[in-house]
Amino acid sequence: MAAQYLTLDDATNYAASYEGWRPAARYYCSRLHVVDEALRTRPRGRLLDVGCGPGMLVRHLLDTRPGDFRITGCDLSPAMIDAATARAKDSGDVEWSVARVEAMPFPDNHFDVVVSMGALEYADADSGLREIARVVRPGGLVVVTMLNPLSPYRLVEWCLYWPLLRVLGRIEGLFGTPRHAADVSGIRAIRLARLRRMMRETGLNPQDAVHYDVTPLVPPLDRLIRRWSRQWRDRPERTVSRGARRWLGTAYLLTARCEGDA
């Protein structure tokens, strides 16, 4: 997770943004669905959640797959780790660490599964992948999610919607307190083909790719129309694609296996 989450309130508000019916909630629901599907190929073992944030995936796994994984969560933000610890406080099976994905304090070949959700966009992705490849055991599973920089949604959001919000905020600031803002995110999204190449260069063998949060809507239309279209929560499988609709996915998931004998 990004380092701007400095307090427990910041981390709590981040988690709250994925609740309800907003676009962020739809995105999270779709992402959680594809991660669940990817983890079905790994029945149990040591699992590392890189960029664990406020522990939402950890809590989900504790609830839905109790006893399957010995979980470790790490995040750059101490506030996120505090929030994650509180979220999983009734479980003694989780270890926590404040660490960058580019320099993790774990032994070589230690984990059976490494999950990185929304972390590499904010990191040195090449160094992060090399660290992930180092800590996962030969034959182990790697699950990475990445924002899709080629989707219509992201192109409109990053190149039009956010810049317009920043301009509007500056204009409002001339006459009082601005009501609109869009901070520079620091996101460095990577195309699927390039991420596959980067994985191979680190000794990871890319496997399955699936695009998720598939939507023809772009900001701000999605914020209006999704108030009346809520089937995505009950049928998240409709929000993912490996076929012709994949280019509409606002993000994608890529799995890989660590090369070498298991």
Look at residue 176 in the predicted model and tell me its pLDDT.
82
Q: What is the pLDDT of residues 35-93, one digit of tens each?
A: 999 999 887 899 999 999 999 999 999 999 999 999 999 999 999 999 999 999 887 78
C-alpha of 219 from chain center? 20
DSSP 3-state assignment of 7?
coil
Radius of gyration of the chain (CA): 18
pLDDT in tens, 174-187: 888 887 777 777 89
* Cβ atoms of residues 106 and 135 within 8 Å: yes
Q: Dihedral of the CA atoms 75, 107, 209, 224 (nearest 10)?
A: -10
Largest distance between two CA atoms of the chain: 65
Non-local (6+) Cβ contacts of 56 within 8 A are 15, 18, 28, 87
pTM of the complete model: 0.92
Closest CA to 155 of 94, 111, 218: 218
Ranges of residues in the chain whose predicted pLDDT is under 70: 1-6, 224-229, 261-262
